[in-house]
Amino acid sequence: MTLIPAVSSSSWPSGGHDTLDSHSNPAETMINANNAGKLAVKWTTQVHGDVSAIPAVVGGAVYVPDWGSGSGGYLNKIAATTGQVIWSRPISDYDGVTGSVSRAARRSSATPSILATRTAAISSP
């Protein structure tokens, strides 16, 4: 038996949604096959560089790393309802390595994981 931690229906706490990396939220009831084609962009925002990660969404905020603009990447917290950047911090603040980026790898390591109320930038060697 596999146990999946409970999250609220609006949460997407890691890049794959859950510890099984399912990329699915079983509590989602608003989006379905009949209305998915009618979805539209709600907002866009500008961060320091390109974004290739799947964001985490928790507590009304979107957490997503970017590639930066040549001097290292950033972890960004963005208001889910408006797209306003709440804060943006260099990945090097988390790992102490100048020029660090959070990069893609298996098991959602390219995305921030939300653990309780703390944000952890995860990168692979």
d(Cα 99, Cα 112) in Å, to the nearest integer? 18
Residue 8 confidence class, pLDDT cut points 50, 70, 90: low
Write the DSSP string, 58-91.
ETTEEEEEE-TTSS--EEEEEETTT--EEEEEET
Q: Is the pLDDT of residue 88 over 80?
A: yes
What global pTM score does this model have? 0.68
Map residue 52 onto helix, strand or coil.
coil
Q: In the CATH hierarchy, which fold is given to the domain comprising 39-120?
A: Thrombin, subunit H (2.40.10)
- Quote the CA–CA distance of 66 and 6 in Å, as a whole number: 28
Asked if the model's pLDDT at residue 19 lies above 90, the reply is no
Query: Which of helix, strand or coil describes residue 94?
Result: helix
Give the pLDDT of residue 94.
Answer: 87
pLDDT of residue 103: 61
Average pLDDT for 11-29: 76
CA 17 to chain centre: 9
Q: Is the pLDDT of residue 53 over 60?
A: yes
